[in-house]
Amino acid sequence: ARTFITVSNDARCVSTASCFERAIFRRVRLCQAPSLTLSHKILGTAAVLGFVFTAAHPVAVLVTVLHDGAAWGVTAWSLNVAGYLAGVGFAFLCQEVSNKEATEEVKRMAFWILVWSSITFGVRVLDILMLTGAVVIEEIYHTPQAPTLYANIVSEIVVAFPYAS
């Protein structure tokens, strides 16, 4: 059953179930499986967070480079680029799986999403510990300050952590 609130003759979605049936999801090609399950909705939400990460992370990198410079070292740059490319790729994979009926191929794709998100969850926990200064691994990065810290909090904690979770 759908629940609506009428505000200025405009019906707005209230329940989560009906939100996934809204036109915006059709426009961005999310959650379009013939039989929409909770798994489809979770993967569609992950895809949205992944696409937000795709935009937020380069901003954090730009702020970091402008504020602290680009001399991060090969290890830090390699991990950064690899993590970003994996995040972008899995955002598209989540989008694709959110649109498909459950088949063996889709189950294999979902398995790799689970593997990736499990690994990334651990990386995000480590990242949060490094951002807060609780763990220091100089080869990856120094604990950021001011604008670099704030940009990374948005990119890595507010967006990337829920995306990986």
**7 confidence band (pLDDT: 50, 70, 90):** very low
**pLDDT tens-digit series, residues 66-92:** 999 999 889 989 999 999 999 999 999
d(C-alpha 162, C-alpha 114), whole Å: 14
- Tokens standing for residue 25: 């999801």
Contact 49, 92 (CB under 8 A): no
d(C-alpha 43, C-alpha 82), whole Å: 22
Position 26 scores a pLDDT of: 66
- Tokens standing for residue 56: 């937020």
How far out from the chain centre does Cα 78 lie? Answer: 19
Position 6 scores a pLDDT of: 38
**DSSP for residue 70:** S
Amino acid identity for residue 108 in this structure? R
Position 66 scores a pLDDT of: 95
Residues 6 or more apart in contact with residue 148 via CB below 8 angstroms: 60, 63, 64, 67, 68
**pLDDT tens-digit series, residues 11-70:** 454 445 556 666 666 677 788 888 888 888 889 999 999 999 999 999 999 999 999 999
Amino acid identity for residue 57 in this structure? H
**pLDDT tens-digit series, residues 131-149:** 899 999 988 888 888 999 9
Backbone phi and psi for residue 133, each to the nearest 5 degrees, phi listed first: 85, 5
Q: Is 22 helix (H, G, I), strand (E, B) or coil?
A: coil
Position 9 scores a pLDDT of: 42
**DSSP for residue 20:** T
